[in-house]
Structure formats: C-alpha cells, structure tokens
Chains A and B, each alone.
Chain A
Amino acid sequence: MGGRVLVAMSGGVDSSVAAALLVESGHEVVGATMKLWGGASDSGCCSVADVDDARRVAQQLGIVHHVFNFGDDFEAAVVGPYVEAHAAGLTPNPCIECNRHLKFDRFLHRARQLGFDAVATGHHARVTCDRGRWQLRRGADAAKDQSYVLSMLGQHQLSRVRLPVGELTKAEVRDRAGALGLRTATKAESQDVCFITSTGGRGAFLGERIELRPGRVLDAATGREVGEVPAIELVTVGQRRGMGGAAGGGERRYAIAVDAVAGTVVAGTEADLLTDGLAVSAGGWSWTDEPVAAGTVVSAQVSAHGPPRAAVLEAGGRLRWLEPERRVAPGQTVALYDADRVLGSAIAA
C-alpha cells in the first residue's frame, strides 16, 4: 500500500505495534496523540504518562510524534452529550462517540489537512477492500474484537483507515512489542471510560455536572410504587440493582423502562424484560456500504463483547428479534453483522 499514514498513538501496546507494523511495511509514518481529557482520570487515553509512552515509542521507531489538543472538541462531542444523555435517562456509550467524532472525524480531517493518505489506530478489527468497496470485519482475536465500537464507520472513513493489529491476536501484539523492545509491551489495558474514575464512578462525575434526582420505582404489573432509586439518571434498562426482588427472596427484578422526565423506573421480571425487537433513534442506521434491505436476516450485537443475536431488519428501520431478547438500554449502539462483516449500526431508541 505505501503512503503517508498518521497513527493515533494512545500510549498503549496496540497502537504502538500498529505504528511499528506500518514502519516495517515501508509506510511513511508519523505518530500523534490526542489530548482529549484534562480532568481526573484513572489512566485514560491522555494522561501525561501515556503521552510520554507514545512519544518514547515513536522515538524508538524513529518517527515524528505530535500531540493534538482536541479537548474542546471532546467536551463538545463526547462529554457534553454523555451528560445530556444520562440526564434524559439514556445509557450512552461515550467511547463510540469518541470514535465517531474524534478519532474518525476530527483526527481524520486533521490528517488529511496535513497531507496524510490514511490514519491508523490500534483497534482489533480489519478493513478489507473488495472490488472498490471497503469492508469492516471482526479482528483476528475474537475475544478482543473491537469492530462493534467502529461499526459507525462508512466508506468515506474506511477508505482512509488502517487497522494493522486487527490481523493479530492480543498475545501476538504483545509478542511483537516485546520482540521490538517497545516499552509498552507489558502495559495494562485501559478498559473503562477515560473521564470516569474508578473511585467516583459515573455518579460522582455526573453529580458534578447535573443534579441527580431520586426516582420512583413502579411495578410493571400493577403500576404501584414499590421503591426508590437515589438517581434516576444512573439507572440503565436491564439493571437489577435497586429494583428489589431476589435479595428479598422473590423473583429477580430488572429495570424495564426509565422515564427521566417523570422520574420513574418501571421494574419487572425477566419475562417483562424480554421484547420482540427494538426501534432505533432518530439518527437511523448508518451503513458501512449499501443499506441493508428490509426483510434481511442479520446478526445484531448490542454491547462491546456481547453475543450476536439473530434478527430481521424491518421496513422503517425497526429490528425484530427471531427469538425474544432482553431489552437494549436506549442509547446503546446496535451493530449489524453478516458473519464477521459489519453492515452498519444505529443507536437504540
């Protein structure tokens, strides 16, 4: 392939090896670390130590390294909407919005401005090209596959994205990093949302930005109030905590629906949680390539590493499960697949 590639280097092992592989394959490679979050963080993507790691890896590889401050964009496109979504009773996925707006929009645009042919990241997924059409596929390491968090990418982005570690297992990535003597070879993975600390959690973070209001828990069958939650904004459809039930010896109970305006949570049994399908939010489906025709049987994934569920895409964009499935929390991303190939994605309504 060749060409000039700008690698988004987080300071982790995957993007370190992504940069190394591109250098090995003869690309003109430059590394860049995005500074996204300046507040408290456990490790996140942009602590000074992580930027140092990215810079040191770049030095080892003999490539130029830049730091881009996209803090204002991150606040506007990720953190602000995250807070608003929780305030509205939704369960947003900020990492997906970061990919959508920062890594594969803001960063991609910056790369084009600077004369790069493509950007690369350390995501475990594969981009392939078939007769001029670009496809996003699951990574070689099924357990580490990250195609779900990239499922919003379309042809425009995929044609300019390289995912070099998608062909490797995580163990192989670490082996390569070790063989190259990269300082990030044994570095622990970051798992959680970079701007939420493990000590304070979502509640502490949201509590500083919005007023968390107590909510009434209503029984799905009777409509009667059966309990209270301390913060309606923190309730996720499908959660058991605070919904009563098993702890008191009864049947397990789940949050079935959240109404942030009314300040109520409907709680019910596992049977109540099951549904025949889901509607998607106003944004509709974003397709990797051609839109999937109504009536097509697809495989749908509703969380980062959740099992695929069989479904039919209905006219109007609704997704109907072939077998009843648990409700998907509104705000979560639904990614559609054909085997290992991503077809598109939407946000559950």
Chain B
Amino acid sequence: MTVYLDHAATTPLRPEALEAMLPFLTEHFGNPSGSHAVSRAARTAVDEARDVVAECLGCQPGEVIFTGTGTEADNLAIAGVVARRAGRVVCTAIEHHAVLHTVQALRGDVVPVHPTGRVDLDALAAALGPDVSVVSVMLANNEIGVIQSLAEVTAVVVEHAPEAVVHTDAVQALPWLDVATAAAGADLVAVSAHKFGGPKGVGALVARSGVRLAPILHGGGQERDRRSGTHNVAGIVGMAAAMRATVAERELSVARVGARRDRLADALVAALPGTVETGDRAEKVAGSCHLRFGGIESEALLVLLDDAGVCASAGSACASGAMEPSHVLAAIGVGRAEARSSVRFSLGATTTDDEVDLAVKVVVEAVAHLREG
C-alpha cells in the first residue's frame, strides 16, 4: 500500500475533474477562440469555468485570467504590474520560488519573518515607500503551512505604500482556507489546479479591476490581452470542477484532515523524543505536518519511507532532483543541520486514518533505525 502524504506537492485528480475534462480531451476539441460550432462548445466551457472560479475566489469573471501554472500566475502578477508601473517589488523571505525568484530577478526586496513564520509587519512597513509597486505575501506557506493575515498586511501597505498593489500566492491555501474572504484585500491572487484535485498545467490569476497588468506572454491576445496562448480547455474545465468540489467540501474536509494531521503529529512527537513540530497548528493549514527529527538526515529518512511505501518530502528539490537547504526554515531561524532533519508530511482530502496509522508506524521505525547509526 502506498501512503501518499505529499499533497502540498500535488494531489490526485478528483473524479469530478476527470469527468468534466474527458469530453474536452475527446469530442469537444475546439479552440475557444474560433467562431464556429466546434469552437463555441469550447468557448462556452471556458466561460462557464470562469464563472465557477470567480465565484469560488470572490471576484468577477472578467477578473479571472487562466494561466499555464501557478508559477506563471505569480510571475504575471509581479512582472505584469511592474511592466505597467515601474517600481520596487517586495516579498517575504518565505515565498515560494515562483515569487521569490521573480522578485529577486527584478532586484526587489525581501522582508524577514518572525520565528513563527508570520511576516514581520514592522520590517514590512520599513521596506515600503512610495516607490513600491507590488507587495507579494503568500497566504499559506508550502513548506511549513503557516497562514499569513493578509488583512494586516494590506493595512500596512495602505499606510506605507498606498500606490502599491498586493499580490498573494494562494496556491497552497485553496484547499484549506476560504480564499474569497482571506484574500479579499489582495489585488492579485494566484492559484494552481493540481494542488486541489485539478490537473497539472493550469492555474489562474485573479487581477481585480483597476489593476493595470501587462502580459508576459505575447501572442494572440487571449484572456483580454493579458495572457496569450490557446486555452487549455480540458485543464480549465477540470480546474473549475475541482475547485467547486473542494470549496463545497472545505469545512468538512478541514475538520477531518485537521484531526488526522493532529493525530499524525501527536503520535510522532510522542513516540520520537527530540522531534520538533514547525509552526503553531493554530496558524497552519489543516493538511500541514512539518517535523524536525533531531539527529537524523531527512534525505536518508525519505528513502526508507519510500522503501516502505510512504511518500513525503523535505524542502524543495533543485533541477537535479537533490534536496536543497530550505530558505523557509532558514528564514524562521532554523539552523542548516536542523533544517536537514526536517520532513514535510502533507495530508489531503483523500488521506485516511489507516494511512496515518501506517505512516506513524513506518516513520517511528525508520527514525529509530537511523538514530541507531
């Protein structure tokens, strides 16, 4: 049996999404930008998907831009705004690389976070000014699961950089938080379908009306000239179906998964002395269980877990596939050696009690084995 505890990396495709997608991978193959009957069927599907996404994310349909990935949505948000209004870009030190590397490429500023993982609002205020055009603060972190208060962030931005727009990477948040409410104050919101049961290769950016955005992909002018390229119709339809189902089940799912996450974390912390849990559960998304197993190397632990059928991860992998030291853990003050002992178990809507029990058994045995030498 495979125990999949890597939902922050990607999730299994929801049946609703697969069912919605199949017609657009078969008979309804049209290009939505055309004018004939075959195109119209595709166009209708994309428009209906846009309505669903807008409703789930609390925006107008015209504010939804379909993209190829969550990474593209983040890039478009930051680079697209800067292209219209030059200025400094600012983000937190724990952003996903899609934001962090974009900000660094634009020679922007990176703001520290507290050891809790929450952004240091004083440092944020100090980094802001009239020259800032974009402030990017993620809603929920991909490694440690910590949630940011965007209301507090927005208040600081309004005070110290009133001309700036606020972007939030909500890619990890969508399965767990009501993004429509939590990101209501953000001008730009990025999501990615495969993190909530949709297919890979499709994302969306909400750009609220009034936000001036230049395209980063030039071409046929799709998505109201904000994102060129033929629509991934099946992907967009699948994303909308997965999003609708995820949002509808969210409250129940959060309670259920949160309880399982608590059981997993409690059992491992109790069974393995020297284990430290990263982040306060009250400030984390329900599926996130990030543990540091003192004295062992997670790179070895992950191989043993893999051998036993338990899929988890540590930090983020570089292009070669090697695990890189986590910039997120460094930012919250965890030392390099300790960071190397960390594992991210990320639960999902499909995680079962049996899987949690098996994972506990396997992890306890593997950590004990590695600690023996």
Contacts and interface: CB of A to CB of B under 8 A. Distances in A.
B320 A51 contact: yes
27 contacts: A33-B320, A35-B318, A46-B320, A48-B320, A51-B320, A51-B321, A51-B322, A52-B320, A55-B321, A66-B303, A67-B317, A67-B320, A67-B322, A67-B323, A68-B299, A68-B322, A69-B322, A69-B324, A72-B336, A113-B304, A113-B369, A113-B370, A113-B373, A114-B300, A114-B303, A114-B307, A115-B304
B252 interface: no
Given A46-B320, A48-B320, A71-B322, 9 more contacts: A35-B320, A48-B319, A51-B320, A51-B321, A51-B322, A66-B303, A67-B321, A69-B323, A69-B324
A115 B324 CA distance: 24
Contact of B300 (A46, A71, A113): A113
Nearest to A113: B300
Nearest to B315: A69
B2 to A, nearest CB: 14
A35 B323 CA distance: 9
A305 interface: no
A115 B370 CA distance: 10
Given A35-B322, A55-B321, A69 B299 contact: yes
Interface residues on A, range: 10 to 19
Contacts of A51: 320-322
A110 interface: yes
Contact of A110 (B300, B322, B323): B300
**Interface-central residue, A35, A69, A71, by most chain B CB under 10 Å:** A69
A272 B322 CA distance: 50
Nearest to B320: A51
Interface string B296-334: 000110011001000000000111111110000000000
A66 B305 CA distance: 13
Nearest to A51: B320
Interface residues of B, number: 17
Contacts of B304: 113-115
Nearest to B337: A72
Interface string B230-241: 000000000000
A71 B323 CA distance: 10
Nearest to B324: A69
A71 B369 CA distance: 24
Interface string A98-114: 00000000000010011
Contacts of B319: 48
A67 B303 CA distance: 10
A68 B303 CA distance: 10
Contacts of B322: 35, 51, 67-69, 71
Interface of A: 33, 35, 46-48, 51-52, 55, 66-69, 71-72, 110, 113-115
A334 to B, nearest CB: 33
A22 to B, nearest CB: 18
Contacts of B303: 66, 114
Nearest to B317: A67
A191 B318 CA distance: 26
Most buried by B among A46, A71, A114: A114
A349 B317 CA distance: 42
Contacts of A52: 320
A48 B307 CA distance: 25
Contacts of B324: 69
A114 B300 CA distance: 7
Contacts of A69: 299, 322-324
A92 to B, nearest CB: 26
Contacts of B321: 51, 55, 67
B6 to A, nearest CB: 16
B115 to A, nearest CB: 23
A115 to B, nearest CB: 8
Most chain A CB atoms below 10 A, which of B317, B318, B322: B322
B117 to A, nearest CB: 24
B152 to A, nearest CB: 36
A192 B269 CA distance: 47
A289 B40 CA distance: 79
Nearest to A11: B320
B291 to A, nearest CB: 19
Contacts of A67: 317, 320-323
Contacts of B299: 68-69
A115 B321 CA distance: 22
A133 to B, nearest CB: 25
Nearest to A112: B373
A46 to B, nearest CB: 7
Contacts of A66: 303
B338 to A, nearest CB: 13
Contacts of A68: 299, 322
Nearest to A69: B322
B246 to A, nearest CB: 33
A35 B325 CA distance: 13
A271 B299 CA distance: 54
Nearest to B370: A113
A110 B370 CA distance: 10
Contacts of A113: 300, 304, 369-370, 373
A72 B325 CA distance: 10
A307 to B, nearest CB: 39
Q: Closest 5 interchain pairs by CB? A: A35-B322, A69-B322, A51-B320, A67-B321, A67-B322
Name, among B317, B321, B323, the residue most crowded by chain A CB atoms within 10 Å (CB to CB): B321
Contacts of B373: 113
B263 to A, nearest CB: 28
Contacts of A72: 336
Nearest to B336: A72
